């Protein structure tokens, strides 16, 4: 696929419309493509964020969508929806550690543009760290250092 927008669009269409198994399997290549070529996601971002907010989304889909959000600058028009979704995912103890850690990073990135998010994010991370995994604690320390700087 490389950085071909037409092929990427086809993959996004399959991701959004396929049966759940196909959607799961398309999520990872989308996140990897966006990591290397962040501009590819721009025309599809609103649909993907809306898809993420649907109930019953598979963990692999959540993990890879939130992962790709780490690599982009979220447009102002979507910042509220992305922040709200990531706060919900981060606060939910039933979410996988990867989904929660990626959500933490997305929120930290958003807090650079929206400093008011720090007031909610810092205490949330600090409250969860004593009961979390080593991976969450490691990322949490890094995010707290960046947020408090």
Task: Provide the pLDDT for residue 3.
Answer: 86
Cα-flanking dihedrals φ and ψ of residue 73, to 5°? Answer: -95, 115
Q: Which domain holds residue 9?
A: 1-72
Whether residue 98 sits in one domain with residue 68:
no
- Distance set, CA 65 to CA 44, 116, 133 (Å): 12, 24, 22
Domain endpoint, select from 25, 56, 72: 72
Rounded mean pLDDT of the chain? 94
Q: What is the pLDDT of residues 85-106, one digit of tens each?
A: 999 999 999 999 999 999 999 9
Is residue 136 over pLDDT 80? yes
Whether residue 95 sits in one domain with residue 64:
no
- For residue 2, name the pLDDT band (cuts at 50, 70, 90): confident
Whether residue 148 sits in one domain with residue 87:
yes
Domain endpoint, select from 52, 72, 92: 72
Task: Provide the pLDDT for residue 18.
Answer: 80
Task: Provide the pLDDT for residue 20.
Answer: 84
Alpha-carbon torsion angle 119, 51, 97, 130, nearest 10:
20
Domain endpoint, select from 72, 97, 121: 72
Whether residue 100 sits in one domain with residue 60:
no
Q: Which of 131, 75, 76, 140 is nearest to 103 (CA)?
A: 140
Whether residue 129 contacts residue 136, with contact meaning beta carbons closer than 8 Å, is answered with yes
Model confidence pTM above 0.85: yes
Whether residue 143 sits in one domain with residue 83:
yes
Whether residue 139 contacts residue 104, with contact meaning beta carbons closer than 8 Å, is answered with yes
Question: What is the average per-residue pLDDT within 38-44?
Answer: 96
Percent of all residues in the chain with a pLDDT value above 90, rounded to a whole number: 92
Helix (H) or strand (E) run with residue 132 in it: none
Is residue 43 over pLDDT 80? yes
Whether residue 80 sits in one domain with residue 148:
yes
Overall number of domains in the chain? 2
In the Cβ-directed half-sphere of 126, how many Cα atoms lie within 13 Å? 10
Whether residue 82 sits in one domain with residue 51:
no
Task: Provide the pLDDT for residue 109.
Answer: 97
């Amino acid at each position: 696929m490389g950085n071909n927008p037409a092929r990427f669009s086809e993959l996004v269409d399959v991701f959004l419309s396929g049966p759940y198994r196909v959607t799961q399997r398309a999520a990872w290549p989308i996140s990897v493509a966006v990591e290397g070529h962040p501009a590819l996601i721009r025309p599809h971002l609103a649909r993907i964020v809306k898809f993420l907010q649907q109930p019953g989304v598979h963990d692999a889909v959540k993990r890879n969508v939130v992962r790709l959000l780490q690599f982009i600058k979220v447009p102002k028009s979507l910042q509220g929806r992305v922040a709200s979704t990531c706060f919900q995912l981060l606060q939910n103890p039933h979410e996988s550690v990867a989904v929660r850690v990626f959500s933490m990073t997305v929120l930290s990135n958003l807090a650079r543009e929206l400093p008011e998010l720090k007031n909610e994010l810092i205490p949330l991370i600090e409250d969860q760290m004593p009961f979390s995994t080593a991976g969450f604690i490691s990322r949490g320390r890094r995010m707290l250092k960046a947020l408090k700087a």
